[in-house]
């Protein structure tokens, strides 16, 4: 029986690092966050990609990350990717390397002669990086060989860096309404997750109004939150004024080993004025995608940019391709007039 308990303990210890991990750096390629591309590499539409076209012979092209500091206890580089190979009878190679202190080491290599790698929707490649913790590094994705024509593409959907931390609380998100009326109360939740190995207690959760800088409220929690447990904290609030803002949450814990996840992303909130208004969007554009969406990174029509912003703000609107003859029912009219085309 003692041997049985010992085996259970060893299994739990072996599994623990898999469960309790902090993602302290990530890139999902909604825009270019400091990468340096060469040749047929590009970043767009939520993806980093090497594409075969235009065809280049005797090629050697890379895309290199910005400088990243690997915090203490860094353990994994995780890449969600797919390699689509057109012809396997040549010498093309895909490589990932790490650059530090004027040195470069290959940490993954794949010959295209092996055929496709992964699923088209993405498969995770995990590379240990424990030996590089504490260093300032760059990651280089490189491919070279006889001709790019033997590729179809190398798609990279996201890149993450993980660390094993004993004490780490993170703010997962803020949730709640995106619209409330003046003087009407609303309820928002700040979601906290313990991504460290150890159970912790005695921490403070706060909710802030980004525009005014004021703290909406705070909650001190003296109860334990276990490793990988998520807890939510409710905040009620109402406003005497109408304006647009964003709420964000924070968590403060003495001894927290990573502060980079202690503040949430912004949650948009509009406090509506006590007036009624109707909105019309007139799409008078020439169907050319001329706008880069700052949120999603894709190329879109100007009218799509307008409707995405209105949807995010929770506004109702009427959308027309042909301008109505009577606009008396609308207080606000948005129109896109098209871009100048040289023919």
Query: What span, in angstroms and rounded, lies between the C-alpha atoms of 279 and 337?
Result: 17
Residues sharing a CB contact under 8 Å with residue 330, sequence separation 6 or more, in sequence order: 278, 279, 280, 318
The reported pLDDT for the residue numbered 61 is 98
Residue-wise pLDDT tens digits, 127-140: 999 999 999 999 99
> What percentage of the chain exceeds 70 in pLDDT?
92
Query: What span, in angstroms and rounded, lies between the C-alpha atoms of 290 and 339?
Result: 8
Stretch (H or E) spanning 272: strand 267-272
The reported pLDDT for the residue numbered 285 is 86
- Backbone phi, then psi, for 198, in 5-degree steps? -100, 145
- Answer yes or no: are the C-beta atoms of 84 and 120 closer than 8 Å: yes
- Whether this prediction's pTM lies above 0.85 is answered by no
Place of tokens 């997750």: 193
In the structure encoding, which two tokens stand for residue 302, read together?
A: 């100007």
Residue 103 has pLDDT above 80, yes or no: yes
Residue 15 has pLDDT above 70, yes or no: no
In the structure encoding, which two tokens stand for residue 86, read together?
A: 């057109």
Quick check: helix, strand or coil at residue 12? helix
In the structure encoding, which two tokens stand for residue 112, read together?
A: 């295209």
Q: What angle do CA 83, 89, 91 make, to 5 degrees?
A: 70
Mean pLDDT in the chain?
A: 91
- Answer yes or no: are the C-beta atoms of 248 and 173 closer than 8 Å: no
Residue-wise pLDDT tens digits, 129-182: 999 999 999 999 999 999 999 999 999 999 999 999 999 999 999 999 999 999
Domains of the chain, earliest start first? 23-163 (2.60.120.200), 169-272 (2.60.40.10), 279-336 (no CATH)
Query: What span, in angstroms and rounded, lies between the C-alpha atoms of 34 and 29?
Result: 10
Tell me the HSE value of 169 on the side-chain side, using a 13 A CA sphere: 27
Query: What span, in angstroms and rounded, lies between the C-alpha atoms of 26 and 210?
Result: 24
Residue 306 has pLDDT above 70, yes or no: yes
Cross-strand pairs, 125: 79
Instruction: Check whether the bond before 54 is cis (ω within 30° of 0).
Output: yes
DSSP letter for 121, please.
T
Nearest to 198 by CA among 253, 267, 131, 270: 253
Residues sharing a CB contact under 8 Å with residue 204, sequence separation 6 or more, in sequence order: 218, 219, 220, 221, 251, 252, 253
> What percentage of the chain exceeds 90 in pLDDT?
80
Residue-wise pLDDT tens digits, 254-290: 999 999 999 999 999 999 988 888 999 999 888 888 8
CA 154 remoteness from chain centre: 20
- Answer yes or no: are the C-beta atoms of 260 and 278 closer than 8 Å: no
Residues sharing a CB contact under 8 Å with residue 57, sequence separation 6 or more, in sequence order: 146, 147, 148
């Amino acid at each position: 029986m003692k041997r049985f308990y010992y085996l259970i303990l060893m299994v739990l210890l072996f599994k623990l690092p898999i469960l309790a991990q902090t993602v302290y750096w990530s890139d999902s390629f909604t825009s270019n966050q400091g990468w340096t591309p060469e040749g047929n590499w590009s970043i767009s539409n939520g993806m980093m990609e090497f594409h075969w076209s235009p065809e280049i012979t005797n090629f050697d092209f890379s895309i290199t990350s910005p400088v990243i500091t690997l915090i203490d206890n860094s353990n994994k580089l995780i890449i969600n990717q797919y390699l689509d190979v057109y012809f396997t009878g040549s010498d093309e190679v895909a490589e990932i390397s790490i650059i530090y202190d004027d040195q470069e080491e290959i940490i993954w290599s794949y010959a295209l002669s092996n055929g496709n790698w992964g699923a088209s929707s993405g498969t995770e490649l995990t590379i240990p990086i424990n030996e590089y913790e504490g260093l300032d590094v760059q990651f280089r994705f490189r491919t070279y060989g006889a001709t790019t024509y033997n590729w179809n593409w190398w798609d990279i959907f996201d890149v993450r860096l993980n660390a094993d931390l004993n004490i780490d609380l993170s703010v997962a998100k803020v949730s709640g309404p995106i619209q409330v009326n003046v003087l009407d109360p609303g309820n928002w939740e700040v979601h906290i997750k313990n991504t460290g190995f150890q159970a912790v207690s005695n921490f403070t959760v706060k909710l802030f109004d980004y525009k005014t800088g004021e703290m909406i409220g705070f909650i001190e929690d003296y109860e334990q939150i276990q490793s990988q447990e998520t807890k939510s904290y409710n905040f009620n609030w109402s406003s005497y004024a109408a304006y647009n803002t964003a709420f964000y949450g924070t968590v403060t814990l003495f001894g927290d080993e990573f502060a980079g996840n202690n503040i949430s992303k912004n949650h948009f909130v509009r406090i509506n004025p006590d007036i009624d208004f109707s909105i019309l969007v007139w799409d008078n554009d020439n169907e050319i995608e001329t706008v880069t969406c700052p949120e999603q990174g894709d190329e879109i029509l100007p009218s799509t940019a307008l409707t995405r912003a209105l949807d995010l703000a929770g506004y109702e609107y009427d959308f027309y391709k042909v301008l109505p003859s009577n606009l008396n029912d609308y207080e606000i009219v948005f129109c896109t007039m098209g871009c100048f085309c040289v023919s």
